[in-house]
Amino acid sequence: MDKRLKYGLWAMIIVAVLAAAHVAFWQRYMVEKDFRQVELAVNYDEIRALSGLAGLSPVEGLQEFKKHGVTAVVLREPLLEDLAAGGRIEVFTGQALLDRMASQPIASPPAIVKEHTYILIYSQDLYQQIFTHMSAKLTGVKGHEIGAATYIIETTAPYIESKESIKKWLGVGFTQASLDDVVQAGLKPIPQIRTWPADQKNIRQVFALYRNIPGVNTVLFNDDTLPGYNSKYLLAEVANELKKSDVALAQVEFFNQQGFNKLGILLDKRVVRLHTISPDELKKMTSAEALDRYALAAAERNQRILYYRPSLAGGGLLQQNLEFLDSLGDKLEGEGLTLGSASQLPPVPVSRGLVFLTGLGVIAGGLLFLGKLRWHPLLLALGAVAVLLWLGLLWFDFMLARKLMALAAVVVFPTLSLLVFLRQEGRSVGQAILVFVKLSLFSLLGALFMVGLMADAGFMLKLDQFIGVKLAHVLPLMILLLYFSLLVAKGLGVPEKIRGLLNQPIVLGIALMGSLMAVAVAIYVLRTGNEGMTVSGLELQFRSLLDQILGVRPRTKEFLLGHPALLLLLLYGYRNNRFLPLLLLAAIGQASLVNTFAHIHTPLVISLLRAGHGIWLGILLGLVVYYLIKLAAGWGRRVQNG
């Protein structure tokens, strides 16, 4: 490669490093370091039940939880089915109501239609609550007063015993008693709103009802679809109504809600991440495991509301749950977090100029990579085309441009680092460790550029995500396996080398090794991405142990496999294709190292600690394996020589 071109490309990389570092370590880090307050929330119905078991009123029970760090109460919007199960209303088909009236006449009944649904209510306040919500959410709703404190609501919605029944999905507002209890206890309500068949008119009507709830600053949606989820116009209307209420939107971790990400963007990313453990999951956990899960969610994934579902089985329940919250508060403080109102992530400024400069660094790295592949005559032309495409994509779709360039960064730099630093000759231990560190830092340029390109509140809140996760892990492996296979193959040119490899006789050992490598790559690919393979219980215990010892656990595939293999490869050199398994593992380690930072919702400091622990542990383990091999080889020679 021409020296002037090479120096020019390195100058572009240096400028890009400065641009990305400014965004990553100044703007993003400064935002994250003040984003440290976590809110503890409980469920109103569960605390009411727990309080009753302890001989306390709901207000007294809530006040006890407040003393132990709780500041918010989730109020789940009741269904008609819930109220019927509690004996507060009765729900009939028209025919069933006629049959009942034959034996129990009703004073002044309306004309009964057999196909309609009828709700019998014995409280004026409850009637007003249900009627206003049903009238706002459904058409064809009528209300009738049929006697002293006795009311009927009639709806054309059919009564059917299935999950489509309005009994099972229609939310009917929040009882005044529950709202009064929360306010009297000095806590903040978080309404958990049921979805409904939304249109532009009823969205305004329904949210006007919810706006009457005092003290709300966060709203939680209950179902896997949001009102208006299938229409950008209706979601915009929902966002407009939420803005009128000046509330944030709670995002439940591990619970995909259709329309949520779009609504979060429309709300100017005013989103708070929420983590909870369901009662069914909690039954299978020890207290220590539950504490670890809550603490990790807050410390490593920026969950800022921890929604605690209390245990309702066993003796001394109230004290048991309060002690758990005390332990959780201590654990969070140990992670450098504080209890209080949930921190909301402030906007992270995004400069198009800095994004453009960062992208130029990735392009320069790509050209250096192509130079290693001996594409020298085409480099200038390819570079000019790449810059023009980068400019055009930034203008056409700024968000997509950033994602694609971030993907390019995490493919190019781990691949290029191995191409630059690996050689056929071995090195001394000191040299190998030094080169290992240099190689890893060079790979991490890809991580730096990715972080600079994706430093945005949308990515940090998982409203948007890095694309091409599996490609980012697999492409470096494929490129490196092909490159080094050809590097040591016999022949003068690439075509001759390929023919030589294809014409080689298949040896059983090589075939078995190839099969094992293919299986290893398949497992590796399946375990990457946002929806990976299920992790075994033993591995979960091992991860928990690492968390307890190190504070932040390194990735297993890095410190147990990839990094030790890379150190051995540097010590022995890539002599021939018998070293392909080591190369495969080394490439996995470097790809994983860089992709650690693709989890933008994880605080930057946590990712740095994770990467650092993986590197020093990997070097240590690699040295142990190296000296064990030397000892075994020495012992073998002594045995052979008698």
Predicted confidence (pLDDT) per residue in 244-261, tens digit:
999 999 999 999 999 999
pLDDT of residue 368: 93
User: In this structure, are residues 449 and 406 in contact, taking their beta carbons and an 8 Å threshold?
Assistant: yes
What is the DSSP code (8-state) at residue 343? P
Apex CA 547: angle with CA 541 and CA 550, to 5°?
A: 135
pLDDT of residue 526: 60
Separation between Cα atoms, residue 17 and residue 24, nearest integer Å: 10
Tell me the three-class secondary structure of 279-324, residue by residue: HHHHHCCCHHHHHHHHHHHHHHHCCCEEEECCCCCCCCHHHHHHHH
User: In this structure, are residues 385 and 415 in contact, taking their beta carbons and an 8 Å threshold?
Assistant: no
Separation between Cα atoms, residue 170 and residue 58, nearest integer Å: 25
Q: Rounded mean pLDDT of the chain?
A: 87
The residue with tokens 């994706």 is 454
pLDDT of residue 448: 96
A 10 A CB-CB count for 26 gives 11
pLDDT of residue 446: 95
Q: Please give the share of the chain, as a percent, with pLDDT higher than 70.
A: 90
Q: pLDDT tier at 205 (50, 70, 90 boundaries)? A: very high
Separation between Cα atoms, residue 388 and residue 515, nearest integer Å: 43
pLDDT of residue 478: 87
Q: Strand 117-121 to strand 141-147: parallel, antiparallel, or no bridges (unpaired)? A: unpaired
What average pLDDT does this structure show over 443-468?
91
- pLDDT beyond 70 at 530: no
Contacts by 580-584, CB closer than 8 A, 24 or more apart: 580/481, 580/484, 580/485, 580/513, 580/517, 581/513, 581/516, 581/517, 583/418, 583/422, 583/480, 583/481, 583/484, 584/477, 584/481, 584/517, 584/520, 584/521
Q: pLDDT tier at 508 (50, 70, 90 boundaries)? A: very low
pLDDT of residue 282: 87
What average pLDDT does this structure show over 13-28?
90
What average pLDDT does this structure show over 293-321?
89
What average pLDDT does this structure show over 212-241?
92
Predicted confidence (pLDDT) per residue in 406-432, tens digit:
999 999 999 999 999 998 888 999 999
pLDDT of residue 191: 96
Find the range with the poorest average confidence among 139-148, 170-179, 482-491, 504-513. 504-513
- pLDDT beyond 50 at 36: yes
Separation between Cα atoms, residue 578 and residue 583, nearest integer Å: 10
| Domain residue limits, the chain | 3-30+347-639, 36-77+174-339, 81-168
Coil, helix or strand at residue 630? helix
Separation between Cα atoms, residue 199 and residue 222, nearest integer Å: 18
Most confidently predicted of 100-104, 412-416, 473-477: 412-416
pLDDT, greater one: 219 or 423: 219
Cβ burial 70-96 (10 Å sphere, 16+ → b, else e): bbbbbbbbbbbbbbeeeeebbbbbbeb
What sign results for the dihedral spanned by CA atoms 256, 250, 547, 430? positive
- pLDDT beyond 90 at 471: no
CATH of segment(s) 36-77+174-339: 3.20.20.370
What ranges in 175-269 are assigned the alpha helix state H?
Answer: 176-184, 200-210, 232-245, 260-266
What average pLDDT does this structure show over 535-550?
74
Coil, helix or strand at residue 164? coil
Predicted confidence (pLDDT) per residue in 224-237, tens digit:
999 999 999 999 99
pLDDT of residue 48: 94
What average pLDDT does this structure show over 556-566?
91
What average pLDDT does this structure show over 146-164?
77
pLDDT, greater one: 161 or 247: 247
Predicted confidence (pLDDT) per residue in 566-616, tens digit:
999 999 998 877 888 889 899 999 999 999 999 898 999 999 999 999 999
The residue with tokens 């392009």 is 363
pLDDT, greater one: 337 or 544: 337
CA nearest neighbour of 367 among 16, 4, 1, 3: 1
A 10 A CB-CB count for 234 gives 18
- pLDDT beyond 50 at 143: yes
pLDDT of residue 519: 62
Predicted confidence (pLDDT) per residue in 379-393, tens digit:
889 999 999 999 999
